[in-house]
Structures are given as C-alpha cells and as structure tokens.
Structure 1
Amino acid sequence: MQVHPARIRSLAGPPPRSGSVVYWMSRDQRAADNWALLHAASLAGESGAPLVVVFALAPAYPGATRRQYAFMLAGLAETEAALRAHSIPLAVLTGEPGFTVPAFLHSVDAGVCVTDFDPLRVKRVWKAAVAVASPGALVEVDAHNVAPCFLASQKREYAAATLRPKIHRLLPEFLKPFPDLPTFPAANLDGFAPVDWRAAADFVQADPSVPPVTGIVPGSAAATQVLDDFLRDRLEGYAARRNDPNAGATSGLSPYFHFGQLAPQRAALATLEARSRAKEGADAFLEELVVRRELADNFCLYEPEYDSFEALPEWARKTLAAHAADSRPYLYDRETFAAATTHSALWNAAQRQLSREGRIHGYMRMYWAKKILEWSGSPREALETALFLNDRFALDGRDPNGVVGVLWSVGGLHDRPWANRPVYGQVRYMNERGCRRKFDVDAYVARYPEQAA
C-alpha cells in the first residue's frame, strides 16, 4: 500500500516517532481513493499504532454560507460511516484548527500527523500554526492532484501550454489505480463515539441567508453515480456540446471535487477506460479535469496574492488601468448584481442559476464575470465583486478553480492579449450576440425567471 513518496512532503518536526497516527482530513473528505489517508494507514499498520481521522470544523470560513456547510457536513457524515466500516474513527474538532488540532495531537500522543495538500491561504495559515505546536511530525500528501502540485512545477506557470507537458510527463508515473483502504482491528474504535452531526451543524456560525440547494445530492456515493452517468450518457458529446448551457452536457462534478467527495484521479481513470468509445469527449474532459484544474492549484500555490488585482499578468494590469476611467454603459453595485436586477435578462438568468442552484454553467460563468467587469466602477471592484458572488453562492466557490476562472474572465489570467477596446482594454471580450450564436439564449433565460417556480 505504498504511496508514491513524491506525493509526500514534510511540513515540520522530526521524522515520525512512536505514537498514534492522526490523519487531519481537510480538503479531501472521503474514505476511498485518498492518498493522504492511505499514507496514514500505512504508517499505522507498519508501527502497530492506532489510527484516527480528525476534521477541524471552523465556526466560519471566509466566503462560505450555510449552503456550503450543509453540503460539506452531509458528505462528512457519509465519510464517517465508510471509515467506521474499516474500524477507523472520525473525530470532529470544533473551533479554530490552529488551536484544536494541536490540542488533539497532544491528547492522543500523536507521533505523526498526516494532512492533505491545499494551496489556499487560509489552509496554509492553519497548517503553519499546527506545525509550530505539533508534538510530532506533520506531513502533507497531495491527494487532490493526479500529478503532485509541488512536483509538477516549482514556479507559477504562464498558461496551460507551459504546464501541460510537465503534467503529461508525470502521468505514467502517477495516474495509477488506488489500493483498497485496509480494515483495522475493532479496538481501533475504542474511545471514539459516533459524531453528533446535529451538534456539529448547530456549532456553525456561517451566514444562514443563502439556503442549501436541493438539486445536488452530497456525498461520495452520489458523486460516483454522477460520474458514471456522465461517462455513460454525456461523454461522447462533451467536446461539441459543453459550451451550450441548455445541452446538459457538462459533468456536474465540480462540487464533489471541491469538497473532496470524489478523487479527480478516480474520474481520470474512469474516463480513460471510456476513451475507446468517446475519444474526442474524453480528451476534452481530461484536459479540463487534469491540466486546467491543476493549473489553478499551481497558480494559487505560487502566487501569494492570488485573489488580488496585482496577481493578474502585467499586460492585463496595464491595459485595464489604461481603460479604468472609460465610460461604462451601466454601473451596478454588489447588491444589484447579487439580486440579479441588472438591465440584462441573460446576465440576470446566469446570476439566478448561481444563487438558486449553487452552480453556474462554465460558459455562462465567463460571460457573467466579464459583464461584471463592464458594469463596475473599476477593474478592482469588478474582481472583488465576482469573487465575492462566486464564493457566496457557488458550492464550488472558495476554490482555486473559482479564483482562476474569475481572474481569467476579468483580468486575462492564463490568456493572451486581444484587440483593444473600451473598458476591457486587451482582455478577451464577450457579449450577448456571441452567446446567441452559440446557444438558444431565450431558452436559457426562460429557465430562470424572476420568480422561481
């Protein structure tokens, strides 16, 4: 059950010593297909030490609402059941992770704490606090990317074209089947009662004004079903139809990837199995699933201010600044955007899809963000508004993919300069006429009327 050593890096402390093995689950919230959990299980099996999984439940998370917490907690409840079937307990620690995780590690005399890789700032701050206070070693395993992010590249990549060959060189080494999670002796559960999930939900202090979504079932079992349905029913037409928001051609997997309820590597392996009957669709999906998604992790890992105007390419900052004083055809504040009360029926429909369903079609997300640029007082304001709305309403917000998607749309990240025009400068332009050439705009608008059915 050896995990590839290049997936693992030490964050602090001496080599692992005797004592309990703790897996601090954070980004990858699943029992199956989890390299970080497999590494922790391997360490525990080799030493005969007990293994326990902990999840540090912060009372609030930047940008998240009750919507995201409800989806996450439902998935974690399923994960707990799967872990207990292998006699592995899950303990939920309530409070700020920088305090609760070290306290737990001391309480069980942990010799090593394994955690999963995450490039986002808040997670890195938590890990730095744990590293200082941990009684033993703290190691990080990239269980989220097919090619480990910190191995694929040691710098911020300019575009997909520069990262793609590096990832492709690593795929034969890392795109391997997952071993099964071992089952531990029943005594490994001693002292750990099942989690009180109602109490965990009551502990959360996130904004309750954005309700949970009803059309997406959380959890690893649902994620696997969604993946199977996509590969069976929609993969063949994915390349040709993915940019039509009326076609229902997309995978629908992004919320499950975001919360770690499905391993992207599992999706990649399954897609490769289906490639013989749907080559064009499989290749297009693998480009998005592996190269583009891992490019987003690369950007957030190596760009400290990844969610700021300063993180945009130099050419984009210059051209947007040069056009910052241009007259805008319309000006809206954040509240107007959030309420979907602009002059544009198409833009309002996109915002309503996001606010009601917790997701927005990928092509429409580009249009949505670019019009926020066009109708905001400045490029900085537009960037802040788009990130805020995406994080607030999207199940897959607060994620490297969301950050990069907004920065690509608003500020040309991972793109190239285009023809110069008002407001946009040389950032790629989109308008409703272009949308009408691609899909039935009126049909899309009709799906999201002002009053939800």
Structure 2
Amino acid sequence: MLYWMHREHRCRDNWALIHALDEAKRRGVPCAVAYGLAPSFLGACIRQFGFLLRGLEQTAAELAALGIPFILIRQSPDTAIPELARSVSASLIVTDFDPLRLKRSWVHAVCAAAPCPVDEVDSRNVVPCQVVSGKLEYAARTIRPKIHRLLDEYLDDLPELSELAADVVPWRWQVPAVDWQTLRDGLGVDRTVPEVPAPFGPEPGEDAAGVVLHRFLTERMALYEKRNDPNVAALSGLSPYLHFGMISAQRVVLDTLARNGARRSVAPAEARESFLEELVVRRELADNFCLHMQEYDSWNAFPDWAQRTLDKHRNDGRDYVYDLQSLEAGKTHDPLWNAAQSEMRLTGTMHGYLRMYWAKKILEWSASPEDAVRHAIWLNDRYFIDGRDSNGYTGVAWSMGGVHDRPWQERPVFGMVRYMNYAGARRKFDVDHYVFRMGVLERRMREEGAI
C-alpha cells in the first residue's frame, strides 16, 4: 500500500493517510508514504522549496515514530510513483486531490502507468470539491448552500493516527535515509529569492501550524472584524500552512467551533462566522474554479462580461505603465503599493486586503489585461510562500477579471471591473503607518543579515 503525498504535507488529520492505513489494515499489507520531489514546480524558488522540505522533514520524523516509512524520491512523481509501486507490488495507491493543471496531469499519468488502482482523497476541503459541485460555480452565493447542506455529513472528528498505524503490517523493504540538509543544499532551484528566516516569516511544519492556530483562536480572532486593516494583527496567519497542507482546514474548523462553544470565547459571533466563511466557502470556491476552469491563470478565465468591458477600455490612456522589472523592484509612484510589494519580497506574505489592491493596480498600470495577468501570476508564484495555489490564482482572476464578482460602475481602464484606489485605502486604514512599518522591517532585516 502506498500513500503518494503531494498536496497534504502532514501526518495528522489527513484523510488520505487515514484511508491508506485503513486499507492496509483491511488487506493485511504494509503501508508507506511516498514523495516524488519534482526538480521544479511552477516557478517556485528556494523560498518555497525550503519551507516545504523543512516541514516535510518534521512530518517524516513523526511518521517514523508511528512505524510508517517515508520514501522520498528525487524524481518527478508521474514517473517515480508507478516505478515504486511496481517494485513493491503495491495493491493500491492513495493520493491527494489538487485542482491545478500540473497536479491533474501527474495524477492522470500515475493512473495510466500504475500497476494497481489509484484512490484520490480530498483532504484539502472540508466538503470534497468534487462532491460539492460538478460544474463551475458562478459565485460564493451559488456554492455556499451546497457546502452548508453537506457540512454536517463531512465535518467529522478525525481519528488518532497512532491507533490506525498500530495494527498495520510492518514495511519489509529497505527505506533509504534522507539527508535533509544535503537535499536542500543540492536542489537545483532558483536561489535569488531566499528563504525567510524567523521571526520575519512563518516557521514551517505541523507543530508551528498548531501554535499559529492556537494563538489566533485565543488572541487574534476577537479582532477579526478589523481584518481589512493591515496595521491590526487580526488575520489567522494560516495561509502558508493551509497551502502546503501542514494543517487541515477541517481541524481549523473543528477547533474554531469548539472555541465558539467555550464559556470564555474571546471572539464575537460575527468574527467567527466571517472567518469560517473565508476558510470554508471561499477556499472551496477557489478549488472549484481551478478544477473546472483549466485556464485559471490567464485572461481566458475571465467571464464574458469582464472580457467585453476590458476589451472596450483596452486602449484607454494610462497615467502610468510599469514593466515587470519595475513592479518586481517596487519602483512605482504609489508608496502603498511599493510597501506591499516590499512586504511580499521580504517576507513571502502580504496582508489579504493589500493582495487585492496589489493585483488591481497591476491591471491599471499594465499595457494590456493579458500583460497584467502574466505579471501578477509571475510575481505571485515567485515570491509568495503560498503562491502556486488555487486561492492565489482565483484572487488574481477576481481582482483583474471579475471572477465571482459582478459588474460595477464603468470607468477608464477597468471598465466595469471593481475598482480600488489609494484614496479608498487611506479611508480604511492608516496608510502612512503601514508604509513606515515596512520601511522599519526592511532596515531591521538588513541589520540582522536576513536579506
């Protein structure tokens, strides 16, 4: 029995691993976790590969403590996994669900080449993406009732892995040891975007994810209604961990609801409901979009009304036009945008409200909508720790192309796509303070040798 891990990089609260162990126990066969480390992945740099591998090292150690071997192969999984399955006469491969094109192609290739059946398990979404809807959903309002109808059925508590692993037949093949430091040092990936050291960026791994969740529920969720203010520590900070599957969204929901029932819950009901709406409905809407819209990262993903209105304003005069190099360096006339770009470049993260502003300004300052999408996706995948994710691609498509949105008042360049501007940001929060904070952050990172 093989569990091919490629999206859910965790040991705990992992339905795919649970299913693999259940099947191994039922069939009386051993079970191992297999990982095919592709030499490149959608423009990821050492920043993303380093975060992934440092977390994966912890997960492999936790699996080993449970007697579950972790097999890492430095080869693209579409060829590595079928070869491994044949070598151990696997009776079943269990794997993760992922809606991205490259991952779908990997799964299809493994299914075609594997010597045994392949079960795909959606451990990412609380309600499995392909159960919620078999078509492209128009907006949150169309998918929300479908998810809510199924939540009680799928929002189960998760079993303890130690109990499942205890009765599985021991693995009888040799498992090569992984020298994690040598592996990281030897990766032939782009190192011009460095890893982000603590305390300037998130610590990788399942334990760190649990700490971040606990601190959010006990300290920051009470502020969640102020989540659109980048100067308030109101956001969960879970995005990198959810992206890499280092924490289960289902566990986050269960712990949030348990906190909701506690006598001394610190968060008002409205804050908890808003958080769960974004964690469940909005994230699952993003997976639905990327699964059913294969060109999710291009102009072609925009709805017809948005393409028509952007086409109409394609030749509008623009006060500023910036090339990719100027955007990457944060060399624009807008101090807020430059500060947000600096936060992304330095820390691999950006406040959620500013991610929308960031993308919309790229649209406004690009020679064409197609250029805008290409530039935003390139920067997103290169710098964000949680880049190359259905949430990020859907966010760009919403910001630039009205995906999951509606037409608004018509204006130059944007047409009827929702508009955001610097003056509006100043009305929402203290822009000057945010810009000042990013300047202080950069100076501190330089002084401490972090950049």
The answer to whether TM tops 0.5 is: yes
TM-score, L = length of structure 2:
0.94
**Counterpart for residue 14 of structure 1:** none
Q: Distance in 2 between matches of 1:188 and 1:109?
A: 13
Q: Distance in 2 between matches of 1:252 and 1:47?
A: 41
Structure 1 residue ranges without an equivalent (≥5): 1-20
Q: Distance in 1 between matches of 2:189 and 2:41?
A: 7
Match of 1:235 among 201, 207, 221: 221
1:215-242 deviation digits (Å, cap 9, x = unpaired): 210000000000000000011220x210
Structure 1 outlier segments of 4+, above 4 Å: none
**Residue 111 (structure 1) aligned with residue 66 (structure 2):** no
**Residue 26 (structure 1) aligned with residue 6 (structure 2):** yes
Change (3 A) 1:452 1:186: farther
Contact 1:58-1:204 at 8 Å conserved across structures: no
User: What is the correspondence of 1:361-376 to structure 2 with a 5 Å cutoff?
Assistant: 361-376=351-366
Q: Distance in 1 between matches of 2:370 and 2:260?
A: 42
Secondary structure at 1:413 match in 2:
coil
**Residue 406 (structure 1) aligned with residue 388 (structure 2):** no
Q: Distance in 1 between matches of 2:223 and 2:236?
A: 11
**Counterpart for residue 184 of structure 2:** 201
Secondary structure at 1:178 match in 2:
coil
Q: Distance in 2 between matches of 1:294 and 1:420?
A: 30
Secondary structure at 1:23 match in 2:
strand
One-letter code aligned to 1:118:
D
**Residue 48 (structure 1) aligned with residue 24 (structure 2):** no
Q: Distance in 1 between matches of 2:320 and 2:271?
A: 39
Contact 1:61-1:206 at 8 Å conserved across structures: no
Contact 1:94-1:200 at 8 Å conserved across structures: no
Secondary structure at 1:452 match in 2:
helix
Match of 1:253 among 238, 248, 251: 238
Match of 2:343 among 353, 374, 387: 353
1:360-398 deviation digits (Å, cap 9, x = unpaired): 000001111111011010011001111111111001110
Measure how far apart 1:189 and its partner are.
6.6
**Residue 151 (structure 1) aligned with residue 131 (structure 2):** yes
Q: Distance in 2 between matches of 1:105 and 1:160?
A: 40
Match of 1:439 among 389, 409, 429: 429
Match of 2:211 among 225, 228, 240: 225
One-letter code aligned to 1:256:
Y
Q: Distance in 2 between matches of 1:201 and 1:432?
A: 41
Measure how far apart 1:204 and its partner are.
2.3
Secondary structure at 1:305 match in 2:
coil
Q: Distance in 2 between matches of 1:421 and 1:192?
A: 61
Secondary structure at 1:111 match in 2:
coil
1:345-368 deviation digits (Å, cap 9, x = unpaired): 111000000011101000001111
Match of 1:264 among 225, 240, 249: 249
Secondary structure at 2:35 match in 1:
strand
Change (3 A) 1:339 1:206: same
Measure how far apart 1:51 and its partner are.
0.2
Measure how far apart 1:99 and its partner are.
1.2
Match of 2:443 among 426, 443, 452: 452
Contact 1:419-1:426 at 8 Å conserved across structures: yes
Secondary structure at 1:33 match in 2:
coil
Secondary structure at 1:188 match in 2:
coil
Structure 2 residue ranges without an equivalent (≥5): 445-451
Contact 2:25-2:169 at 8 Å conserved across structures: no
**Counterpart for residue 330 of structure 1:** 320
Secondary structure at 1:251 match in 2:
coil
Secondary structure at 2:307 match in 1:
helix
Q: Distance in 1 between matches of 2:92 and 2:107?
A: 14
Contact 2:143-2:285 at 8 Å conserved across structures: yes
Q: Distance in 1 between matches of 2:350 and 2:108?
A: 34
Match of 1:388 among 378, 394, 401: 378
TM-align CA RMSD: 1.3
Contact 1:408-1:414 at 8 Å conserved across structures: yes
Q: Distance in 2 between matches of 1:135 and 1:218?
A: 35
Q: Distance in 2 between matches of 1:318 and 1:303?
A: 19
Measure how far apart 1:448 and its partner are.
1.7
Contact 2:29-2:169 at 8 Å conserved across structures: no
Measure how far apart 1:203 and its partner are.
4.3
One-letter code aligned to 1:300:
C
**Segment of structure 1 superposing worse, 185-194 or 42-51:** 185-194
Contact 1:28-1:116 at 8 Å conserved across structures: yes
Change (3 A) 1:52 1:145: same
* Count of residue pairs brought into register by the alignment: 432
